[in-house]
Each structure stands twice: as C-alpha cells, then as structure tokens.
C-alpha cells in the first residue's frame, strides 16, 4: 500500500492538476495519479467554481476527499477548527424600537390621559338610572365605583343619606319596602331619604367604603345604622385566628389595624390599595361587575357550564359585545325578596329556637372601633351625623344573652352621647316582624320608620 501524502501534499497535487486542466475544463476531467498516489478529479460548477476530489486508489477501501473553491489555487483541505467570525452587534429586542426622551414624554402623557379620562368619559356614555327607592342591585354589591357614582349623583344637600349594611339595604324586602322608602312616606316626599346601604357590609368594610369611595358625602345630613350583630361573637367581629372568607374583604384595612382572620398575601393587599387610589382600576372592576358577571375577561371566556361533560358557552363570544352602555337594574319581580317571596316570613315560623350570643367586649372589638372611626370620618367631612341603634331581635336571645346585650346597647349609646352624637335607640319590634336576628320584614320597616320619624331626637336633628 502506498503511503498517503499529508494534507499539504494532497492540496499541492490537486492544485497542479487544476492549473493544467483549467483552460480545457468543460466536463469532468481526470488525471493520472501523482507521485503521491492521489488521482485528482475536477468538475466545473459554473460561475468559476470547482469541485475537486482526491482519490487514493491503492487504499482499501478507497479514500475520497472533496474540496470546493472558486479559485483552484485557493483550494485547501477543510479544517475541523472553525474560523473566527466577526462579532455580532447585540440586539436587545426583536424588531427593536427605541424611543428618545421626547417620545417617552409623549407616550407617558397618552397613558396618563387614558387612565384619567377613561372613567370620566364613561360616566357620560353609560346610562345610570336611579329614581325613587333606588338601591345598588344585589349583583353589583361589590361595584364600589358605581357606589361612588351614586353618591356623587345626590347633589341636593337637603337629601339625607342612610348608611348601613343589609338592614338598611333591605335583605328580605323589595325597594319599596325598605327603611328609606317608609321614611320618605313619613316625610311626604319621594327622595328625601336615600338608600345608601350595601348588602353584606359591616363596620370594618363600611369605613373603607366611605373613606375611599364616599368623598361626595360632605356637608349634609347622614344617618348611620349600628347593627350589633357584627359584635355578637369573636367570629363576627373578625377576631378569630383561623382564616375566614368574608364579604367585602377589599374594603377592610389591609395592614393596620391587623385583622387576624384575613390571610391575603402582600401582592393582593398592595393591589387593593392601588385600586382604591386609582379610579381607572375601580372602573375596570365596574365593567367586570356590570357586564361580565363579576369576572375578568379571561375567566368569563373560560366559564364552564353545569353540563357533563362541561361546555364553554363564551369561548367564541366577543366580551365587548356584552357592554350595553346601561347599568343593570334590580330585577322585578324578585323571587328572593318581597311579601310574595318564600324567604319573607317570620324568624320563628318553623318553630322558636333561642340563640346564645357570645358578645365581645367593646374595648377589644374591631367592628366597634371601625364604627367609631367611620363616625369621626363623616364628622371630619362636615357632615351632620345621626346614629340609629338596632332594631335587634331580642325575642330570639336566651336570658343570658339578653342581659349582656342590654349592657352592650347601654355602653354604645353612652359612648356616642359623650361625643354629642344624636342617637335613636330603636325599640324592639314585635317578634313576627323580624326575619332573623337583625332584619325586619316589610311591616317591620314600616313600623320602624314611624318610630324613628316621631322620635324627639330625630325631629330635633332633622330640623336643625
């Protein structure tokens, strides 16, 4: 077997043959084996390119090396070492777009304008019809942007706004069966008293609602209903250490005072603070509550049906098509409320069972502290405040709970009177006029309104 030449020798042999055959190269060209045993074969590729192969016929099996170049003199054996490439400039983005300082200012102004103007423009485009006996519809109880808009619409300072939870709102009654309706009837006017209650509210949440969304309540008369149900146990007062899910958690204090059973993480708490202080995000929540069943666009699109297997009825629907440009109103008739509702019945209709209430101390009560802060906030905004205590259903208490309740009532009334805040302690209603521990039925609200309207403290407060 002939010795095979080195890489440099093979390249020289091929180059010699290439120079000899180049003037006559048309098709494949062959040459006899050189002294080194290499038989070069050249083939023209057009455009001045050549494919040169070097064959060693004496080897078994035959070895073939191929070379390509545009100039036979430049042919060389391929190297296993990659040649250094020129440095590539760093690209920060795909389809990179860089803004100068002036362009960034323009973009910032556009974004800020959208954040500020979008909610304001929306109030001019969206119809919001209130009228007599209007109350925030139950499905929109967490639409705080709408609640703020409702208070801003009460421009007449002679109108009295009633603040409270579902007792003021009217959990078991229709809008024309609520406390504000019957107070208007006693006054002989249609809209002197405004229903500012929200279903599911409690003092800790009510404080947050008025602090963040009740700025329109200034220099007017405000009635606040004090429902001691929220102080009837450590759980109701939110003092328990175990995590609890409760309504309107986004209105409660996020950091201070600490609520032991509220276990939201820091990201959620910071998001709540941003939403409270940025009308744009509150407006987005309004769109979700009013038009997307209180869901984000993503969760609304992926909503499952109750069928088995489940279907996704909104998968191909356009979320923007759900916007009707009109705030939803309360459904009428309401199968869950009113005299014709199966829920509208006395608390002891199925039998009387007395309940024991584990009343908390007012000194440590989170709800009572929040109620006092709420009253102070309203007074700080130059409002004339009157508190209505009760009416609480004393008929369903056992004797020990009733005795403790009487002390709680006396302490609350005394604390408010020391601050020179007018208080109307509503007397207990007949048992058949209560739906549960704190909610009257329609006839109960009618009787309560008459009692409050004739109370000397109320008469003096309303006339000053």
- Can you give the pLDDT at residue 170? 96
Q: Provide the 8-state DSSP code for 243.
A: -
Label residue 375 by pLDDT band (50, 70, 90).
very high
Looking up tokens 């043959």 gives: 17
DSSP 8-state code for residue 19? H
Is residue 351 over pLDDT 90? no
* Beta carbons within 8 Å of 338's beta carbon, 6+ residues apart: 173, 174, 177, 344, 442
Token pair belonging to 436: 């549960």
Residue 59 has pLDDT above 80, yes or no: no
Taking 90 as the threshold, does the pLDDT of residue 18 lie above it? no
Specify the range with the lowest mean pLDDT, choosing from 24-33, 300-309, 441-450. Answer: 24-33
Task: Taking residues 251-255, report their average pLDDT.
Answer: 96
With cut-offs at 50, 70 and 90, classify the pLDDT of residue 72: very low
Residue 461 has φ and ψ, to the nearest 5°, of -65, -45
Q: Kind of pairing, strands 39-46 and 29-30?
A: antiparallel
pLDDT given at position 92: 56
Query: Whole-angstrom Cα distance, residue 121 to residue 125?
Result: 7
Q: What is the pLDDT of residue 50?
A: 55
pLDDT over 90 at 65, yes or no:
no
Residue ranges matching CATH 3.40.50.1110 in the chain: 129-262+337-463
458 falls in which pLDDT band (50, 70, 90)? Answer: very high
CATH of domain 129-262+337-463: 3.40.50.1110
Three-state secondary structure string covering 326-355: ECCCCCCCCCCCCCCCCCCCCCCCCCCCCE
pLDDT above 90 (res 379): yes
**Cis, bond preceding 257 (omega within 30 deg of 0):** yes
Which pLDDT score, from 0 to 100, does residue 247 have?
94
- Pick from 289, 243, 253: nearest CA to 273: 253
- 217 Cβ contact partners less than 8 Å away, ≥ 6 residues apart: 151, 161, 210, 378, 381, 383
Query: Looking at residue 311, what is its pLDDT?
Result: 87
Report, as an integer, the average pLDDT of 353-367. 95
| Contact status, residue 161 vs residue 208, Cβ threshold 8 Å | no
Asked whether the predicted pLDDT for residue 1 surpasses 70, the reply is: no
pLDDT of res. 248: 96
Residue 400 in tokens: 């020990």
Would you call 85 helix, strand, or coil by DSSP? coil
Distance from C-alpha of 424 to C-alpha of 450, rounded to nearest angstrom? 12
Read off the pLDDT of residues 203-231 as tens digits, 9 standing for 90 and up.
999 999 999 999 999 999 999 999 999 99
What percent of the chain is modeled with pLDDT above 70?
79
Give the up-direction half-sphere exposure of residue 205: CA atoms within 13 A in the CB hemisphere.
23
Per-residue pLDDT tens over the stretch 161-210: 999 999 999 999 999 999 999 999 999 999 999 999 999 999 999 999 99
């Amino acid at each position: 077997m002939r010795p095979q030449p080195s890489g440099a020798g093979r390249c020289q042999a091929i180059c010699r043959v290439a120079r000899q055959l180049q003037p006559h190269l048309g098709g494949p060209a062959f040459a006899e084996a050189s002294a080194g045993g290499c038989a070069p074969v050249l083939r023209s590729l057009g455009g001045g390119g050549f494919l040169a192969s070097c064959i060693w016929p004496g080897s078994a099996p035959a070895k073939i090396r191929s070379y390509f170049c545009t100039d036979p003199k430049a042919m060389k054996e391929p190297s296993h070492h990659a040649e250094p490439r020129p440095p590539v400039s760093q690209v920060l983005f795909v389809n990179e777009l860089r803004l100068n300082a002036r362009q960034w200012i323009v973009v910032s102004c556009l974004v800020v304008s959208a954040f500020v103007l979008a909610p304001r423009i929306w109030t001019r485009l969206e119809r919001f019809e209130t009228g007599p006996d209007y109350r925030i519809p139950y499905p929109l109880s967490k639409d705080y942007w709408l609640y703020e808009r409702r208070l801003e619409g009460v421009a007449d300072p002679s109108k009295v706004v009633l603040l409270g939870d579902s007792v003021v709102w009217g959990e078991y009654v229709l809008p024309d069966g609520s406390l504000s309706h019957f107070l208007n009837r006693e006054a002989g006017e249609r809209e002197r008293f405004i229903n500012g209650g929200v279903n599911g509210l409690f003092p800790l949440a009510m404080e947050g609602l008025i602090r963040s969304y009740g700025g329109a309540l200034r220099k007017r008369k405000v009635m606040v209903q004090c429902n001691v149900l929220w102080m009837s146990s450590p759980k109701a007062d939110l003092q328990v250490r175990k995590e609890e899910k409760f309504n309107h958690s986004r209105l409660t204090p996020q950091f201070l005072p600490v609520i032991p059973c509220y276990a939201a993480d820091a990201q959620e708490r910071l998001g709540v603070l941003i939403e409270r202080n940025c009308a744009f995000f509150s407006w987005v929540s309004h769109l979700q509550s009013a038009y997307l069943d209180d869901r984000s666009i993503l969760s609304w699109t992926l909503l499952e049906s109750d069928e088995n297997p489940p279907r996704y009825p909104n998968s191909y629907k356009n979320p923007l098509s759900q916007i009707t440009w009109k705030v939803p109103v309360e459904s009428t008739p309401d199968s869950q409320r009113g005299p014709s509702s199966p829920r509208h019945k006395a608390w002891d209709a199925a039998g009387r069972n007395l309940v024991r209430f584990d009343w908390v101390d007012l000194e440590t009560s989170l709800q009572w502290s929040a109620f006092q802060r709420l009253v102070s906030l309203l007074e700080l905004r130059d409002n004339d405040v009157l508190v209505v205590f009760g009416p609480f259903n004393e008929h369903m208490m056992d004797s020990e709970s009733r005795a403790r309740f009487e002390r709680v009532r006396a302490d609350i009334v005394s604390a408010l009177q020391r601050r020179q805040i007018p208080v109307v302690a509503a007397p207990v209603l007949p048992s058949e006029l209560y739906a549960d521990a704190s909610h009257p039925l329609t006839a109960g609200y009618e009787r309560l309104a008459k009692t409050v309207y004739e109370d000397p403290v109320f008469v003096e407060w309303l006339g000053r």
